[in-house]
Amino acid sequence: MKSKHFIFLALSAIILTVAFFAVREKEFSSVGKNEEKIGKNIVPAGLSDKMSAIKIGGGSLRVELRKKNDAWTVSSLYDYPADLSKLRQFSFDLAEMKNTQNINAGISQYARLGLDTADKNAGSKTIEIFADDGLLLFSFIAGKKHFQKNSENPMGSEIPDGRFLLLPGKNEVLVANKILPDLENDAFAWADKTFISADNLKKASFSDQNQVVWTISRKNEGDEFTLENPPDGKEIDKAKLSSIGSALARLSFAKIANPGAPDSESGLDKPKVFAGETFDGIKYEIIVGGKKDSERYAKIRVSAAEIIEPPAPDSETADEKQKREKSLAEKKESTETKAKEENEKFAKWLYLIAENNIAVFITPYGELFKKAEDKNKEDSKSIE
């Protein structure tokens, strides 16, 4: 029995030794392969040329971008046009994203690194990139930002220098050299924010349910706006008119609303309309609806205003007439083209614009005049 027991122990020791060295060899081989990946690109080369859809999700975040007819849209936001500069930066970061550090982390450590997709509070983001036929080209899970000590700061603060990533198919955890800040943005952040803008208004009016409330105008750029048919005994607030006349130059929108919402819901069944015409012959209409929290629903219409041909000089020659008519025709064509392009870009959408941004366009008639107390203050200052 002792001899058999000794042989059993010896065989067990040999098996354990062989298994130990086999595991160690595998570990060293794995470490060697992982070390080879340091400094290498994470995303396959040429991915940006093939991608036609991007999905970013995590917790309550859902962002979908899609390429349609060579134009990128935010498909998770009614297919509103995407911010191409943001998309280009994201594509560039993906192409330049490199592995700077391999992390030996098991599943139990994923939450600490922000990589646990099952934990909604972990902050993980799953990024999927697709081809135009729906084929998944590449995916990864982005976790928390990686920080390094700021040697130039005596307080020893840390600065972000990358982000923890998990490559699901390979279960590899690593640190990428790109922060990818836009992964934390909602769908609206990916939308194109360019909007109508004009700083050379010639004329503007405000109508409430088809009734004109006021009209202001000026003959030349640089002139002060005047109120048409002002009442007797009231002093016009010229600063207010100037503010109305320049408001289109700083207009922006806060959100994209559902373009299919009924007018009864958006308040556009009882619209307030601001119409502004520029010296270039572009007419902008802002159709203002009801309020939603601190914002108002609004739609945009752009058209070409009628270009009135100035009277011809009495001494005009045939050559001068031809040049004048050609110049007028070119101006009309340019104006109509610009108006058509802007109308196609904005007219089909329903916007939410901050109340403090849109209120100036629907200024009540009574607020166009100075109040008695304001006038008294100005009189007091002039006496002093």
* Of 217, 246, 265, the residue nearest 361 (C-alpha): 246
Whether residues 62 and 134 fall in one domain: yes
Whether residues 179 and 208 fall in one domain: no
Give pLDDT tens digits for 83-107. Answer: 999 999 999 999 999 999 999 999 9
CA angle 239, 243, 244 (to 5 degrees): 120
Does the residue 91 lie in any domain? yes
Please report the pLDDT score of residue 16 as a whole number: 53
Euclidean distance between CA atoms 135 and 114, whole angstroms: 27
- What's the mean pLDDT when you consider all of the chain? 87
- Contact of 306 with 337, CB cutoff 8 Å: no
Whether residues 134 and 244 fall in one domain: no
Whether residues 101 and 241 fall in one domain: no
Which residue would you say has higher pLDDT here, 269 or 22? 269
Does the residue 315 lie in any domain? no
Domain count, the chain: 2
Does the residue 25 lie in any domain? no
* Of 268, 271, 270, 251, the residue nearest 259 (C-alpha): 268
Does the residue 2 lie in any domain? no
Phi-psi region at 337: left, alpha or beta (left = phi > 0; alpha = psi -120 to 50): alpha
Structure tokens at 360: 């100036």
Does the residue 333 lie in any domain? yes
- Please give the model's pTM, rounded to 2 decimal places: 0.82
Whether residues 162 and 224 fall in one domain: no
Give pLDDT tens digits for 290-315. Answer: 999 999 999 999 999 987 777 888 78
Does the residue 301 lie in any domain? yes
**Which domain range does residue 283 map to?**
201-306+320-383
